[in-house]
Amino acid sequence: MTVRPITIIGHRALERPTRKVREITDEIRTLVADMFETNDAADGAGLAAPQVGARWRIFVYSCTDAEDIEQRGVVINPRLQRFGTLVLDEESIEGCLSVPGEGYPTARFTGARVTGTDLEGNEVDVSDEGGVLARCLQHEVDHLEGMLYVERLSPTLRREALDAVTARGWRSRGVLSWDPRQLEADEV
């Protein structure tokens, strides 16, 4: 397993929809193992394939559900259903490994359900209402559609987020990834 560099805002891989996985190959198995390793190294709640430069419709997650129970897994070719109430309050701060060191209030539904398959081709059905996992499922599927959470922010907060990206110098230095083994997210 390898910790891969995590792409950051401005990287082309984050702006394009992903491709459906048609067959579980050794390449896909290695990618998923590396994604878990990378997510763990970055202390993330989840990581989508585009965040490590891959265009496959895959994400991994490792976060708590509404009952504060740690949930961990992979979903290949996920289909998302949102339910509950759309919420934006002080508990709605969301961050992203592709916009490291930043966090902003982001409106998300209180509930989410994702169905897909695992690495063995078994059906996967993951759902949560009111926990970090519900937010994570929505966030990771957004990545697979080519969308970052900053695109869901109010115009004022979106401008603030983009100003923070500029202030960190990511675009001016041409930096489009970071290595979670070498840098803390707030130092990128």
End-to-end CA separation in angstroms for the chain: 23
Residue 183 is assigned to a structural domain of this protein = no
Residue 125 is assigned to a structural domain of this protein = yes
Q: Supply the CATH number for residue 74's domain.
A: 3.90.45.10
Write down the pLDDT at residue 186: 45
| Binding site as annotated, residues for Fe cation | 96, 139, 143
- Residue 37 annotated to the active site: no
pTM equals 0.93
Residue 188 is assigned to a structural domain of this protein = no
Residue 113 is assigned to a structural domain of this protein = yes
Spatial CA neighbour of 40 closest among 79, 75, 7, 72: 72
Residue 186 is assigned to a structural domain of this protein = no
Question: How does pLDDT run along the chain (188 residues), one tens digit per residue?
Answer: 899 999 999 899 999 999 999 999 999 999 999 999 999 999 999 999 999 999 999 999 999 999 999 999 999 999 999 999 999 887 789 999 999 889 999 999 999 999 999 999 999 999 999 999 999 999 999 999 999 999 999 999 999 998 998 888 766 556 788 889 885 444 54
Residue 1 is assigned to a structural domain of this protein = no
Catalytic residue among 37, 94, 102, 140: 140
Q: Give the residue numbers spanning the domain of 97.
A: 6-175
3-state secondary structure of 60: strand
Residue 180 is assigned to a structural domain of this protein = no
Domains held by the chain: number:
1
| Binding site as annotated, residues | 96, 139, 143
